[in-house]
């Protein structure tokens, strides 16, 4: 893993990747830094140092974001990477007052040429199993698709003779909010990503997309089958997205295991073996 850094990144481009009619604004923000001695890997995170909220005594407001993609730079010695950022605003259901997410709004409002302080990279990227026919279970919500997008493209492009199977359980508030998962004939070309789509198709003939409105229900319906797979040394589970989703997963598997204690014991074993990895926020 690269040594940590703190320096200024320059915004190369920013584009909305959800349609205008979607209730969610998610942007792909491409940044570039001096790349000397810095090695980025899909699945790692960078810290963004946003201006602190008004009235705060803090020097900055720090948040981690998963690297969605590593891109070729047009300038030698520079590193270019993409972040997938959802604009977060919370509305008080009683007063109607809107609380703007500090870091997400700061990033979504940036324009090409703007400078932003970043740190990292940090975090352990999803490991590629040594077994070329391993079974990968990817479970994510929201912008948790970003590290999966990078990981699957990495498998497709850079891992010779990969023949593994991928099950992707991915949830969002509506079909319009899904990222990079559309069939080429869909009209939602604003965020259809041909390279990612083809990578998923190549690596798994029939990816098992969960219902975006009830991914947890879809997962629970296959729970017994998936729980059995966890005892197979060639099965790996990677989780990305909202931290709250982990509670739901633990609850589902605890029921299947016959109790929370039994499940946590198995989960601990999976983590130690590198077969259960979480990137959550």
What is the tens place of the pLDDT at every residue in 70-93? 888 878 878 899 888 888 888 777
What is the pLDDT averaged over residues 21-44?
Answer: 78
The pTM is what? 0.63
Q: Do 92 and 190 belong together in one domain?
A: no
Specify whether 185 is located in the same domain as 231: yes
Identify the pLDDT of residue 35. 67
93 and 159 part of one domain: no
Higher pLDDT, 133 or 58: 133
Considering 122, 151, 173, which residue would you say is the last residue of a domain? 122
Residue 226 lies in a domain: yes
User: What is the number of domains present in the chain?
Assistant: 2
- 275 lies in the same domain as 142: yes
Name the pLDDT band for 206 (thresholds 50, 70, 90).
very low
Who contacts 216 (Cβ-Cβ below 8 Å, separation ≥6)?
171, 245, 248, 252
Q: Is residue 221 domain-resident?
A: yes
Do both 181 and 103 map to the same domain? no
Examine the domain organization and report whether 46 and 160 are in the same domain: no
Per DSSP, 179 falls in state: -
**Residue 17 lies in domain:** 5-122
Report if residue 99 sits inside a domain: yes
Tell me whether residue 265 is exposed, middle or buried, using C-beta atoms within 10 angstroms of its C-beta: 0 to 12, 13 to 18, 19 or more.
Answer: exposed
d(CA 79, CA 5): 13
Residue 93 forms part of a structural domain: yes
Shared domain for 155 and 20, answered yes or no, is no
**CATH label of the domain that carries residue 144:** 3.40.50.80
**CA gap 175, 67 in Å, rounded:** 23
Question: 161: which residues sit within 8 A by CB, 6+ positions away?
Answer: 132
- Whether 86 is covered by a domain: the verdict is yes
Q: What is the DSSP string of 174-191?
A: SGGG--S---TTSS-TTS
Residue 129 lies in a domain: no
- Reported as a single tens digit per residue, the pLDDT across 208-267 is 444 443 566 767 777 888 889 999 999 999 998 777 788 888 988 898 899 999 999 999
Q: Which of 125, 128, 209, 210 is nearest to 163 (CA)?
A: 128
Out of 74, 91, 122, pick the residue that ends a domain. 122
β-sheet with 135-141: strand ranges across: 165-171, 135-141, 235-241, 276-280
Q: For residue 213, what pLDDT is reported?
A: 39
When pLDDT is averaged across residues 54-67 and rounded to a whole number, the result is 81
d(CA 16, CA 29): 9
Position 272 scores a pLDDT of 94
Q: Give a yes or no: residue 128 inside a domain.
A: no
């Amino acid at each position: 893993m690269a040594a940590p850094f703190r320096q200024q990144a320059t915004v190369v481009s920013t584009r909305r990747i959800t349609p205008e009619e979607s209730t969610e604004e998610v942007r792909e923000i491409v940044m570039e830094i001096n790349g000397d001695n810095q090695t980025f890997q899909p699945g790692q995170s960078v810290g963004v140092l946003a201006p602190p909220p008004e009235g705060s005594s803090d020097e900055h407001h720090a948040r981690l974001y998963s690297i969605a993609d590593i891109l070729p730079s047009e300038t030698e010695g520079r590193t270019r990477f993409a972040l997938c950022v959802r604009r977060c605003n919370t509305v008080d259901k009683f007063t109607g007052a809107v609380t703007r997410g500090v870091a997400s709004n700061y990033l979504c409002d940036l324009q090409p040429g703007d400078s932003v302080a970043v740190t990292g990279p940090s975090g352990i990227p999803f490991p590629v199993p040594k077994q070329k026919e391993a079974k990968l279970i990817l479970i994510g919500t929201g912008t948790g698709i970003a590290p999966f997008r990078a990981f699957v493209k990495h498998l497709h492009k850079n891992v010779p003779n990969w023949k593994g199977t991928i099950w992707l359980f991915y949830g969002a508030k509506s079909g319009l909010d899904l990222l990079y998962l559309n069939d080429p004939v869909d009209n939602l070309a604003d965020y259809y990503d041909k390279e990612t789509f083809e990578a998923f198709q190549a690596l798994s003939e029939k990816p098992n997309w969960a219902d975006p409105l009830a991914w947890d229900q879809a997962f629970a319906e296959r729970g017994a089958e998936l729980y059995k797979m966890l005892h197979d040394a060639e099965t790996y589970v990677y989780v990305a997205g909202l931290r709250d989703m982990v509670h739901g997963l633990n609850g589902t598997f605890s029921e299947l295991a016959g109790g929370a204690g039994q499940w946590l014991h198995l989960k601990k074993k999976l983590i130690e073996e590198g077969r259960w990895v979480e990137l959550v926020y």
